[in-house]
Amino acid sequence: MTERMNVESFNLDHRLVVAPYVRVADRKELPGGDVLIKYDVRFSQPNVEHLDMKAVHSIEHLTAELMRNHTDKLIDFGPMGCQTGFYALMLGVEAADFLPLLQASFEDILAATEVPAANEVQCGWGANHSLEAAQAAVRDFLAKRNQWEIVMAEEAK
């Protein structure tokens, strides 16, 4: 890779990262002074493993709903097409404050009894959900909380 690409994640050598991790993927200052911070919340090792689509879909619904119980600074929480993680877009929430929000939201997922809006009225593929799969993936991610800030393999040594 010699040419810099417009998409930040296309410039990341996915062979060198070590999942799970959480990293700042982008930061934009808006004309009014607000700052948007995009987080890469990576569950699975790229090109080695991926999350089941029902788990991805359910984690998206659960986190998008439940994180808003902890903050009004969440703009969006959406899945990566590669099914290895999610992007969280936050309004001015720095990593020191984002990580506890993420942890609290994921702990809420473990206590959830249903996936919000998992029906044909509120979702484009309402049957494509699994609370159990979402909880299993989140449980594994939370179990490795001490690794979230280690992104590159050389940092793990």
> Does 97 fall in a domain?
yes
Q: What is the pLDDT of residues 1-33, one digit of tens each?
A: 578 999 889 999 999 999 999 999 999 999 999
Stretch 88-105: mean pLDDT: 98
Number of structural domains, the chain?
Answer: 1
Domain that holds residue 72: 12-151
pLDDT value at position 157? Answer: 54
> Does 64 fall in a domain?
yes
Closest CA to 110 of 72, 62, 74, 146: 62
CA dist., res. 64 & res. 62, Å (int)? 6
Q: Could you tell me if 18 and 44 are in contact, meaning their C-beta atoms sit under 8 angstroms apart? A: no
> Does 5 fall in a domain?
no
> Does 79 fall in a domain?
yes
Q: Is 88 helix (H, G, I), strand (E, B) or coil?
A: strand
> Does 37 fall in a domain?
yes
CATH number at residue 70: 3.30.1360.80
Q: What is the pLDDT of residues 41-96, one digit of tens each?
A: 999 999 999 999 999 999 999 999 999 999 999 999 999 999 999 999 999 999 99
Q: What is the pTM of this model?
A: 0.95
Stretch 128-149: mean pLDDT: 98
If pLDDT is split at 50, 70 and 90, which confidence band does 156 have?
low
pLDDT value at position 153? Answer: 83
pLDDT value at position 154? Answer: 77
> Does 2 fall in a domain?
no
Closest CA to 103 of 138, 127, 131: 138
- Which of the residue ranges 105-114, 119-128, 135-144, 146-155 would you say has the lowest mean pLDDT? 146-155
> Does 41 fall in a domain?
yes
> Does 118 fall in a domain?
yes
